[in-house]
Chain A
């Protein structure tokens, strides 16, 4: 009886993914415990986030694929409406208008877009599976640009980047021609000066200090300098759990959220970093395998985009801490403290699981 209940409960849970996710979240909790000064407050808070996110993941994993097909368009439209709502009467926190206050809780609609956009694009391309024309890609590009520009306006460069990346991955996997790709690349480069003029001062500063953090050691370069010191001083084996000096003595800013990787790298060293990268690669690998075996174009594109978004999170965050990418507000997936991004990521993982476990139902 219990066995049957259990098996029905885990029927749509991919074992490999859930193990990897559990390992990463375990590492995350351990690092969080250290980063918050050996206090359980944040750890308990994160455990609550994990519980919610796992529930979301379970639901997503159990959603049949045709439901996903159906919710793609409404979700996207809903997301765009929310973004416009944020723009008109959102809350301003830390100088950026990202939050929508619903009275009982506040939400960040841009997070929703990380899933809603690839879902929408995958659905769109799936509809035109038979004949993918340039026009389809043009429409796809517009579908990408609308939310991305709205998010960039908030301003939230990090999320805009992630959403754009998610959209781009769908376009690419859908078969965007190489020539167009190169053309887009060139157009992108050509538009850089224009982008530059669109940027907020603090965003420009972040880009500038990326190339020379020492220019502004106490201001914009401080994050990068301190995180690189944390990383480097971790050495090969690390300083040991709870022994990081950079984090424990307050030198690292945002050390439970965006810069938690610096804490991890300081305490666990290069060995720890390799372990973490392998775990991330296994998740990404599993996601790509699921995408490769997905039954329809819609699910393939969705799985691929979710997986690559996950990769983008991890790569940009670690690259930022290591000082080779600009400081953009992107958390390290499954490690950083924070409910919203955790829910988004596990929702995506849940979709991957759904795609994998429901594939036979579709095929047959």
Chain B
């Protein structure tokens, strides 16, 4: 197979060569035609597709988180605000070896195991974040150190972000609440609500308290920036931006100074104090002790702190004002007295003789008075002032449970008050019907007797007691209690007032109100159960002590010293002042505090003194935190 073409003929040789050249030329043209077809296909036919890809390549839609609204007390003291801090964030999609990268980063800025865990958690949660923070709150030196080395870390950048801060720490923590990282449950909820888009790329949502209840108003509207980015994910310039709308500010009825004083005088005791402005229903102070530092929750609480709070026997996370249910004890009596007067079952001058015990029906169960030997001759006034049990046993029996339920129900006991904090419980104001439903049992008259002195089945929250007291102080006008007084629009500064009108009114005769009020004023006078707490007041101080049994002590003599601390009675006190022109109504519950007159009433006195007279309580340096001074 030997090819031996003898190309001696020059022309022939040239012809063959040129033929091959022509073939090659044709091949060249064909190759370029193929290229042209490909260009045409990609650049014309599929232009839209590639155009979109190029735009997606370069344009990132970056959500801009709005400034969360501030929370300010009635005098403008800041309870929750935002501050800007630098975070170190990683665009995880642009990094191959995350652990190695984080190790490298840790040579520049401190990255604690906690930071790593949080990063890992956020990574696993897989929210649609543009970038995930590995470190928050970098100091200036760390920012500078990273900035110099930034070129070594494609996909890592420093961003200024706003952080929520509660400058007063524990003070009013149960009212203000806190924000925390959005959980999967929150995401589901937001999706259901259809507001998930407003949370794109933001990490926080109100979890508790006002932060939770007014989430919509505080949140604002997320803005968007169309940012041109280079291949390393760094933004080159902003092409278009829709500005975020800041959240609205909450202006509270709450008085932070009063709140602080109340918490200070409460000291280390467990319990709750709720103070309401009777004429508006505004909550002036709402204490639940022990409290917690809401700042712990903002960046995700660490396990140690969480365990400490969650497993503490004192349940600091519970908002006792709304969620703690206690028998009202003798603080129930003014309302019983009013029920007696309004229903006509008792005349002011009607007197009983109190031997120290009460026998139900024909030789039935014996109910004792708290005072051995009794109070002697007792009328309505004295029954309230000295908290005579026997008087109210008889009254309760005569009224019957359903009448009590009907009348007292008008003061909101045993029902949710509708306060603007989530998690409120209803408590219980029993009735025949209730017992039938609950236990499939008939109501016994004996059940009614204990109710007369605020014991038995009845359960109320401190908030309900404060609300009932406020209604009493306000001559029966009912306002829904509210912590927030105004919502201030972030754009216009226009104020929206919360609950400006009474929602109902309890029909009460002025005479009857006056009689109960006079009796309550005398409670804090010499001879009354809170005489000591009411010493030398410069205003009319209406109050009622209460002591609620924690465990039943049938027939036994209650010996405070011998009862375990946690089995001691709860001390209660309700009050309003000045009685002739009420500016504050409050209820106090001190868990296992013993007697209302000795434990709870002095707290009320100091709080009211401060509110009406500006009188500071005796200082307790350790607990004193200067309000508003910690703002940074």
Contact = CB atoms under 8 A, between A and B. Distances in A.
- The answer to whether A binds B is yes
Interface of A: 129-134, 169, 172-173, 175, 177, 179-180, 218, 226, 228-236, 245-246, 249-251, 265, 269-270, 273-274, 277, 280-281, 284-285, 288, 291-292, 297, 300, 304, 308, 311, 315, 318-319, 322-324
B39 A324 contact: no
A269 B43 contact: yes
Contact of B50 (A133, A231, A273, A300): A231
B49 interface: yes
Given A130-B7, A249-B231, A300-B17, 17 more contacts: A133-B2, A133-B4, A175-B5, A175-B20, A179-B1, A229-B54, A231-B42, A232-B43, A232-B49, A233-B53, A235-B44, A245-B228, A246-B54, A292-B21, A304-B24, A315-B31, A323-B38
Nearest to A132: B5
Interface in B35-61: 35-36, 38-40, 42-44, 46-47, 49-51, 53-55, 57-58
Contacts of A281: 28-29, 32
Nearest to A281: B32
A129 B6 CA distance: 9
A31 to B, nearest CB: 16
Nearest to B94: A218
Interface string B43-84: 110110111011101100000000000000000000000000
A270 B44 contact: yes
A233 B58 CA distance: 12
A319 B28 CA distance: 13
A20 B228 CA distance: 38
B17 A245 contact: no
A245 to B, nearest CB: 5
B39 A130 contact: no
B21 A291 contact: yes
B interface: dominant SS: helix
Nearest to A266: B54
B6 A236 contact: no
A interface: dominant SS: helix
A229 B50 CA distance: 5
Contacts of A218: 96
Given A132-B4, A250-B232, A308-B24, A324 B58 contact: no
Contacts of A311: 28, 31
A290 B476 CA distance: 113
A239 B417 CA distance: 66
16 contacts: A134-B1, A172-B24, A218-B96, A226-B57, A230-B54, A232-B49, A232-B51, A233-B51, A236-B47, A245-B58, A250-B231, A270-B39, A270-B44, A284-B25, A285-B25, A292-B21
B384 to A, nearest CB: 81
B39 A251 contact: no
B18 interface: yes
Given A130-B6, A134-B3, A249-B236, A232 B50 contact: yes
A319 B228 CA distance: 29
Contacts of B58: 245-246, 249, 251
A270 B40 contact: yes
B54 A245 contact: yes
Given A232-B50, A285-B25, A318 B2 contact: no
Contacts of A319: 34-35, 38
Contacts of A315: 28, 31-32, 35
B57 A173 contact: no
The 10 closest A-B pairs by CB, nearest first: A232-B50, A233-B54, A250-B231, A249-B230, A232-B42, A270-B43, A250-B230, A251-B231, A177-B3, A233-B50
A251 B2 contact: no
Nearest to A251: B231
Contacts of A233: 47, 50-51, 53-55
A177 B49 CA distance: 46
A246 B57 contact: yes
A277 B2 CA distance: 40
A285 B13 CA distance: 21
Contacts of B36: 273-274, 277
A213 B557 CA distance: 89
A179 B548 CA distance: 113
A273 B43 contact: yes
Nearest to A177: B3
A322 B39 contact: yes
B437 interface: no
B410 to A, nearest CB: 70
Interface of B: 1-8, 13, 16-18, 20-21, 24-25, 28-29, 31-32, 34-36, 38-40, 42-44, 46-47, 49-51, 53-55, 57-58, 96, 228-232, 236
Contacts of A249: 57-58, 228-231, 236
A235 B38 contact: no
A288 B24 contact: yes
B24 A173 contact: yes
A292 B20 CA distance: 10
A284 B24 CA distance: 11
A232 B51 CA distance: 7
A284 B31 CA distance: 12
Given A172-B24, A180-B3, A228 B231 contact: no
Nearest to A245: B58
A131 B5 CA distance: 7
A169 B228 CA distance: 48
A231 B43 CA distance: 6
Contacts of A133: 2-4
A131 B40 contact: no
Nearest to A319: B35
A131 B4 contact: yes
Contacts of B31: 311, 315
A131 B42 contact: no
A236 B44 contact: yes
A280 B31 CA distance: 12
Contacts of B7: 129-130, 132, 175
A306 to B, nearest CB: 13
Contact of B43 (A130, A226, A236, A246): A236
B539 to A, nearest CB: 73
Contacts of B236: 249
Contact of A284 (B1, B28, B54, B228): B28
B44 A245 contact: no
Nearest to A278: B32
B24 A322 contact: no
Contacts of B40: 270
Contacts of A251: 57-58, 230-231
B57 A277 contact: no
A235 B55 CA distance: 13
A132 B16 CA distance: 13
A304 B228 CA distance: 48
Contacts of A250: 230-232
A173 to B, nearest CB: 5
B25 A288 contact: yes
Given A245-B58, A308-B24, A315-B31, A131 B50 contact: no
B231 A322 contact: no
A218 B232 CA distance: 12
Contacts of B49: 232
B231 A265 contact: no
Contacts of B5: 132, 175
A281 to B, nearest CB: 6
Contacts of B3: 132-134, 177, 179-180
B27 to A, nearest CB: 9
Nearest to A271: B43
Contacts of A274: 36, 39
Nearest to A274: B36
Contacts of B51: 232-233, 235
Contacts of A232: 42-43, 46-47, 49-51, 53-54
B58 to A, nearest CB: 5
Nearest to B39: A273
Contacts of B34: 319, 324
A246 B51 CA distance: 11
